[in-house]
């Protein structure tokens, strides 16, 4: 009788230990697969790593530089469209013989459109061409890049 009780107690202990071990293994397995799934999930909300951002920045600068290489010659009507028909409320500054308008390109990026007041005269035309020529050649982070120009006012 004692042996039978001892055997049943031993069996219960083994059963308990076995079920405990199985439960432990199952919990460990689920925890590990949860961590793997989290690691594999795409990181929508995280910003790209710094190296990526730098690459993107370099790419957009390269694109801009290409644009800068060859400023586009605009038709006068394009300048009119850019400035909303020379809308006074878009004027952000004035020079001695010019008004500067804030405009937006199709992609939404802001640009300054400088419109010279034409009063005729060779000297004025020369000054305008000099400024154009200078801006065309200058490349500096602190100097606005010349993206486009128009010198056909009156030719339309
Ligand atoms: N890229 C720009 N972004 C914002 N504002 C600008 C920009 N360019 C010019 N402006 C504004 O327009 C004003 C006049 O422009 P700018 O300095 O080119 O003319 P200026 O050389 O003084 O005169 P002008 O060429 O008519 O003789 C500036 O003082 C500034 O307020």
What mean pLDDT comes out for the span 67-82? 83
Task: Say if residues 118 and 104 touch (Cβ distance below 8 Å).
Answer: no
Taking residues 20-27, report their average pLDDT. 65
Ligand 1 binding site (Cβ under 6 Å of any ligand atom): 92-98, 100, 112, 114, 144
- Looking at ligand 1, which residue's alpha carbon is closest to its atom 25? 95
Tens digits of per-residue pLDDT, 25-66? 666 665 665 556 555 544 444 444 444 554 444 434 444 444
| Residue 65 belongs to a domain | no
147 CA → ligand 1 middle, Å = 16
Number of domains present in the structure of the chain: 1
| Residues spanned by the domain of 86 | 72-149
114 annotated binding-site participant = yes
**Cβ–Cβ < 8 Å for 37, 113:** no
Please check whether residue 143 lies inside any domain of the structure: yes
Residue 137 lies in a domain: yes
The predicted model gives 120-139 an average pLDDT of 86
Q: Tell me the CA–centroid distance for residue 93 and ligand 1, in Å.
A: 6
The ligand 1 atom nearest the CA atom of 93: 12
Backbone angles phi, psi at 29, to 5 degrees: -65, -45
Domain CATH for 136: 3.30.200.20
* Residue 12: predicted pLDDT: 55
**Residue 90 included in any domain:** yes
Please tell me the predicted confidence (pLDDT) of residue 43. Answer: 46
Beta strand residue intervals within the chain, DSSP E: 72-73, 91-94, 98-104, 110-116, 148-149
CA-closest candidate to residue 147, choices 123, 111, 120:
111
CA gap 152, 72 in Å, rounded: 13
What average pLDDT does the segment 89-118 reach? 92
């Amino acid at each position: 009788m004692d042996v039978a009780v001892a055997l049943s107690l031993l069996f219960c202990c083994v059963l308990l230990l076995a079920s405990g071990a199985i439960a432990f293994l199952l919990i460990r397995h689920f925890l590990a697969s949860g961590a793997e799934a989290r690691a594999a999930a795409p990181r929508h909300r995280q910003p790209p790593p710094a190296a990526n951002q730098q690459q993107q920045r370099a790419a957009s600068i390269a694109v801009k530089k290409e644009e800068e290489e060859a400023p586009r010659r605009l038709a006068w009507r394009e300048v009119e469209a850019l400035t909303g028909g020379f809308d006074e409320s878009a004027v952000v500054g004035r020079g001695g013989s010019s008004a500067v308008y804030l405009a937006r390109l199709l992609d939404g990026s802001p640009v300054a459109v400088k419109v010279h007041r034409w009063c005729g005269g060779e000297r004025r035309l020369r000054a305008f061409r000099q400024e154009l020529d200078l801006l065309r050649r200058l490349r500096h982070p602190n100097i606005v890049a010349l993206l486009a120009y128009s010198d056909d006012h009156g030719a339309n």
